Amino acid sequence: MTYVYRFGGGVSDGGKGDRNLLGGKGANLAEMASIGLPVPPGFTISTDFCAVYYDEGGQFPQGLRDEVATGIAHIEGVTGKRFGNAADPLLVSVRSGARASMPGMMDTVLNLGLNDQTVEGLATTSGDARFAWDSYRRFIQMYSDVVLELDHDAFEEALEIAKEDRGYFLDTDLTADDLRTLVAEYKALVEKQWGKPFPQDVHDQLWGAVGAVFGSWQSERAKVYRRLNDIPASWGTAVNIQAMVFGNMGDTSATGVAFTRDPAKGDRAYYGEFLINAQGEDVVAGIRTPQYLTTAAREAAGAKPLSMEEAMPVVFAELAKVFDLLETHYRDMQDIEFTVQQGKLWMLQTRSGKRTAKAALKIAVDMAEEGLITREEAVQRIDPAALDQLLHPTLDPKAPRDVLTKGLPASPGAASGQAVFDSDTAEKRANAGDSVILIRTETSPEDIHGMHAARGILTARGGMTSHAAVVARGMGRPCVSGAGSISIDAKAGVMKVGDRTIREGDLVTIDGTTGEVMAGEVPTVQPELSGDFAALMVWADGVRRLKVRANAETPLDAKVAREFGAEGIGLCRTEHMFFDAQRITDVRQMILAEDEAGRRTALDKLLPAQRSDFVQLFEVMAGLPVTIRLLDPPLHEFLPHQEAEFAEVARSAGIDIDVLKRRAAELHEFNPMLGHRGCRLGVTYPEIYEMQARAIFEAAIEVAVKSGAAPIPEVMIPLVGTARELELMKAVVDKAAEAVFADKGQRIEYLVGTMIELPRACLMAGEIAEIGEFFSFGTNDLTQTTLGVSRDDAARFLTTYVERGIYARDPFVSLDVEGVGQLIGMAAERGRAARPGIKLGICGEHGGDPASIAFCEATGLDYVSASPYRVPIARLAAAQAAL
Ligand code: ADP
Ligand code: MG
Ligand code: MG
């Protein structure tokens, strides 16, 4: 067969190695079946067909129809039931399953194969008419929603009215006869909305559902999820068709979801929820509050309803054995779906469980120590970007808290922001620069964009495996779920907790580690970087070749960077030192001076300030290399704007205010990014670079004398395009160095090099390397100048560019390896040919991006430089790149 792969009943056409072809769900169902676990029989239509489906304009060729018939025959053979048979019908589920798990993105239909005849057969064979009619009513509801795309609320409403009319409270109060009546109402609803009767032919039902799954691959919410998670549209989804098992056949039946370890903290304890007498999605949807799997978890939460361990001890023991077997088999923490039908356990899904960064670290380190995986594997298991979650502050335990209520600790970390009650508003406010907390009764896939925009998520309903919890953990957003004592009126924009009212825009804080919800903003503290984090970083450092430095200019940033393991500074942007309230006046005086003498007067005032900056920086980085970039930005960035600022400069410099204003007007540029900036400033006003070089060397000698550990200054000339520019500027720096050395009677080691950030510099790298002693690739500007895209103006079109597949990712976030990467590779090669062993590094945003770091490793650069908080991410990414 070309597209159909069977599983169950002793057959497995595929296995866990086939996830590209069968999707994660299909591959793992086949794998579980092949290792002897109880999996309801079924088959998978491969992802290859997804492309064919779109090529054929949503038609199914005869070949596929024949293969599917064979697949159905396989299920019939194993179960002994026949699809569409009125006496003893086979029912199936139709489930999507892509290569990467996309929680809630694609739609599943359960109980397919029921119609007016087969429902009677199901009632007879099961001996439970209520169960049969409940299954039929669920099927019509799901099918109408997912496949026919009818208004889903009308069905909910009919169900609510049916209960109200009879004075019932729970769905389970409805009798067989009530449900029979409800089914008739549902069918009338379908006919009214769809214009045709509900499909009674089971094969029509099946093909409708299969088409809906393939169709949902191109749904808006699937596209959004793919964009947020870098999943290519070309992968496609598979479709799984599988015999139904029923968790809704009374009190010996149940359905549940479980993790083999705690996905929030990583502890080695089974973790999960189940519901007695329920089907499929009831647990995830948060319709009833689920019960705990283990007694320990139930007791820890102080909950009353029996755990599965207590309510169904025999099946629980069997399940626990399956957990251990799956974990050893897959060598990773598993996320599992199961159903118990009248005391018999069935496995419906397993996959590597999503987990928080904290849990990922603990699980990787524990598994390496248990001998289940190697240390190298542990290093490879951690997504470097996810470390971000751990490196940021948590709530200050000493700060006062105005606790409103407590929910479930669904995704750890703390966040404060304005209360917002719908996802569109969350996105709008976040785009306007506000921090928001998204507060919903429960979330659904339509909320993805709001959850992404929010700092944290709070829900009134739903458990630890609810949509909100799973998605928040995946995104690294703090989340408190199931805070039952809050009531939300989204339309009015208010939430009530006891006698307290929170309105849209009010500040709230959530702590996803404890479940606390607080009014106002609570101050935060830095996290401890010990334990599992430290252990894993030691293993990572053991395999890494690339050095990791930080971009930092203040002593505080430098200190944070060193604590995070930076091995020097890769970029110190000296202009950042100029914005200080006192200094800015002197800087302005320098810029507005009409001649060299005027500039020198101002520079003399700046020299001591600049020197003391470098002293502090060198002290923090004692013994390590520090790359200092001389003044780079266009001068007008420092110009005064307000009258008072002009007056201040005029007074301090003793210059007429009108002269200053005229000079400021002269400095206007049409395209400052390509204007009078970078080394062009040094070429026209060498006294600026001379002052900066002097400050660097005086500071370096001061620290060398004081602490004995001389820093190694690497003086970097920005925006060089020709060897001659660098030659001129190097002469200025060398001359300043010699003057200082003569003055102090002491020499220190230093390098003069350049930032490579123009395409011409890449082309001329050979000549430039004859003068420059190091290259640092300034990939922000190199990306701008190579792509001809201004970063500050790119927001308007780049999203569309990424959506349309013009660039795979934002080239300012992740290096355009294809294009800009070629220039870097060429410059590195030409640079090395001219000066063997020339030091090569990268600074700019890309230095902290794992994919770009992999490129740097492959190109053989010596180091990457990232912002202080990204240093650990870069260390881990560099280790993974080396493995
Ligand atoms: P998702 O990818 O959204 O989790 P699934 O295909 O796993 O969707 O199905 C949704 C729910 O239906 C799950 O709880 C699953 O266990 C349940 N389910 C799917 N197929 C069957 C089946 N054949 N018998 C019983 N329950 C099923
Ligand atoms: Mg599932
Ligand atoms: Mg630059």
Residue 736 gets which letter from DSSP?
H
How many other CB atoms are found less than 10 A from the CB of residue 582? 8
Name the residue with the closest Cα to ligand 1, atom 26: 280
Query: Which ligand has the nearest atom to the CA of 630?
Result: 3
Read off the amino acid at residue 334: Q
Dihedral of the CA atoms 142, 143, 146, 147 (nearest 10)?
Answer: 180
pLDDT per position as a tens digit, 386-436: 887 787 668 888 889 999 999 998 888 899 999 999 999 998 998 888 999
Nearest to 255 by CA among 224, 280, 223, 238: 280
In angstroms, the Cα distances linking 218 to 105, 226, 404, 805 are 10, 10, 41, 15
Distance separating alpha carbons of residues 455 and 451, to the nearest angstrom: 8
Residue 91 DSSP label:
-
For the stretch 392-402, what's the b/e string if a residue is b when 16 or more beta carbons lie within 10 angstroms of its beta carbon? eebbeeeeebe
User: What pLDDT, on a 0 to 100 scale, did the predictor assign at position 276?
Assistant: 93
Q: Rounded to the nearest whole angstrom, what is the distance from the C-alpha of residue 9 to the centroid of ligand 2?
A: 21
Residue 148 CB contacts under 8 Å (≥ 6 apart), including other chains: 190, 193, 194, 208
Q: Which ligand lies nearest to the CA atom of residue 756 in the structure?
A: 3
Contact indicator for 506, 323 with CB cutoff of 8 Å: no
Helix (H, G, I), strand (E, B) or coil at 849: coil
Residues 396 and 519 in one domain: yes
Closest atom, ligand 1, to C-alpha of 96 = 6
Q: Where are the alpha helices (DSSP H) in 35-128?
A: 48-55, 62-79, 118-126
Alpha helices in 275-356 (DSSP H): 282-285, 295-301, 308-311, 313-330
Ligand 1, atom 18: closest residue by C-alpha: 280
Rounded-to-integer distance, Cα 288 and Cα 462, Å: 8
679 is catalytic: no
Q: Count how many residues are written for the chain.
A: 883
Closest C-alpha residue for ligand 1 atom 1: 104
- CATH number of the domain within which 746 lies: 3.20.20.60
Distance CA 339, CA 384 (A): 35
Q: Which ligand is nearest to the CA of 42?
A: 1
Same domain? For 677 and 780 the reply is yes
Residues 547, 692 within the same domain: yes
- Domain boundary at 364, 379, 414, which? 364
For tokens 């820093």, the residue is 711
Instruction: Give the pairing type, strands 109-112 and 237-243.
Output: unpaired
Residues 485 and 580 in one domain: no
**Ligand 1 atom at minimal distance to the Cα of residue 257:** 14
CATH number of residue 349's parent domain = 3.30.470.20
For position 463, what pLDDT does the model report? 80
H helices present in 593-666, as ranges? 596-620, 643-653, 657-666
CA of 258 to the centre of ligand 2 (A): 11
Residue 167 in any domain: the answer is no
The total domain count for the chain is: 3
292 membership: H or E segment, kind and range: strand 291-292
Asked if 584 and 668 sit in the same domain, the reply is: yes
Element (H, E) at 482: none
The C-alpha angle with vertex 486 and arms to 485 and 488, in degrees rounded to 5, equals 150
Q: Considering only CA atoms, give the Rg of the chain.
A: 33
Nearest CA to 478 out of 513, 502, 443 is that of 513
Measured in angstroms, how far is the CA atom of residue 229 from the centroid of ligand 3? Answer: 29
Same-domain pairing of 792 and 675: yes
Which phi and psi (to 5°) does residue 229 adopt?
-115, 15
Instruction: Name residue 517's beta-bridge partners.
Output: 405, 510
Residue closest via CA to ligand 1's atom 23 equals 244
Residues facing 405 on adjacent strands: 517
| Tokens matching residue 493 | 């924009």
Side chain identity at residue 227, one-letter code: R
Same-domain status, 780 and 635: yes
Cα→Cα distances 636→174, 661, 664, 689, 731, Å: 75, 12, 8, 17, 26
Angle, nearest 10°, between helix axes 596-620 and 686-707? 30
From the candidates 467, 572, 679, 846, give the one annotated as an active-site residue: 467
99 within some domain = no
Kindly give the distance from the C-alpha atom of residue 842 to the centroid of ligand 3, in angstroms, as a whole number.
Answer: 12
Nearest residue to 450 via CA among 466, 470, 468: 468
ipTM of the complex model: 0.95
Distance of CA 670 from the midpoint of ligand 3 (Å) = 18
Ligand 3 ion: residues within 5 Å (CB): 757, 778, 781
Residue of the CA atom closest to atom 17 of ligand 1: 280
The closest residue, in CA terms, to atom 15 on ligand 1 is: 280
358: in domain: yes
Residue 213 to residue 103: CA distance in whole angstroms: 14
What type of residue is 88?
D
Q: Would you state the structure tokens that stand for residue 89, as one six-digit string?
A: 């019908």
Distance of CA 26 from the midpoint of ligand 2 (Å): 11
417's CB contacts (< 8 A; 6+ apart) are 434, 435, 436, 437, 454, 455, 456, 507, 508
Mutation test residue for ligand 1: of 72, 81, 95, the one with most atoms within 8 Å of CB: 95
Q: Give the C-alpha separation, 706 to 720, whole Å.
A: 35
Last residue of a domain, one of 491, 524, 557: 524
Ligand closest to CA 779: 3
What spacing in Å lies between the alpha carbon of 349 and ligand 2's midpoint?
A: 6
Cβ burial, residue 788 (10 Å; 0-12/13-18/19+): exposed
Among 524, 551, 570, which residue terminates a domain? 524
Task: Using the mean position of ligand 1's atoms as its centre, give its distance from the Cα of residue 547 in Å.
Answer: 47
Q: Which atom of ligand 1 is nearest to the CA of 107?
A: 3
Which residue range forms the structural domain that includes residue 486? 392-524
Question: Which bound ligand lies closest to the C-alpha atom of 677?
Answer: 3
CB-based contacts of 66, cutoff 8 Å, min separation 6? none
In a domain, 476, yes or no: yes
Exposure string over 832-843, b if 16+ CB within 10 A, otherwise e = bebbeebbbbbb
Do 351 and 492 lie in a common domain?
no
One-letter identity of residue 756: I
Q: Are residues 847 and 779 in the same domain?
A: yes
Q: How many CB atoms lie within 10 A of CB 423?
A: 21
**What pLDDT is recorded for position 696?**
97
Annotated catalytic residue, options 50, 843, 846, 856: 843
Residue closest by Cα to atom 24 of ligand 1: 244
Is residue 435 in a domain? yes
Q: Pick out the chain residues at pLDDT < 70.
A: 103-106, 284-287, 392-393, 474, 476, 580-582
Spacing, Cα 511 to ligand 2 middle (Å): 28
CA dist 382 and 391 (Å) reads 14
Indicate if 682 and 784 belong to the same structural domain: yes
Residues 516 and 560 in one domain: no
Q: How many Å apart are CA 665 and CA 713, to the nearest integer?
A: 37
In a domain, 21, yes or no: no
Nearest CA to ligand 1 atom 22: 244
Residue 528, pLDDT score: 72
CATH of the domain at 409: 3.50.30.10
Alpha carbon distance 667, 91 (integer Å): 77
Element holding 754 (H helix, E strand): strand 751-756
Question: What are the backbone dihedrals phi and psi of residue 43, each rounded to the nearest 5 degrees, phi first?
Answer: -155, 160
Give, using CA atoms, the residue closest to atom 14 of ligand 1.
Answer: 280
- For the question of residue 392 being annotated catalytic, the response is no
pLDDT number for residue 474: 64
Mutation test residue for ligand 1: of 114, 348, 354, 444, the one with most atoms within 8 Å of CB:
348
**pLDDT of res. 106:** 59
**Do 759 and 627 reside in the same domain of the chain?**
yes
Ligand 1 pocket, Cβ-based, cut-off 6 angstroms: 40, 93, 95, 104, 108, 110, 242-245, 280-281, 337, 339, 348-349
Residue 674 counted as domain residue: yes
Atom of ligand 1 nearest to the CA of 348: 16
Identity of residue 655 = I
Position 134 in a domain: no
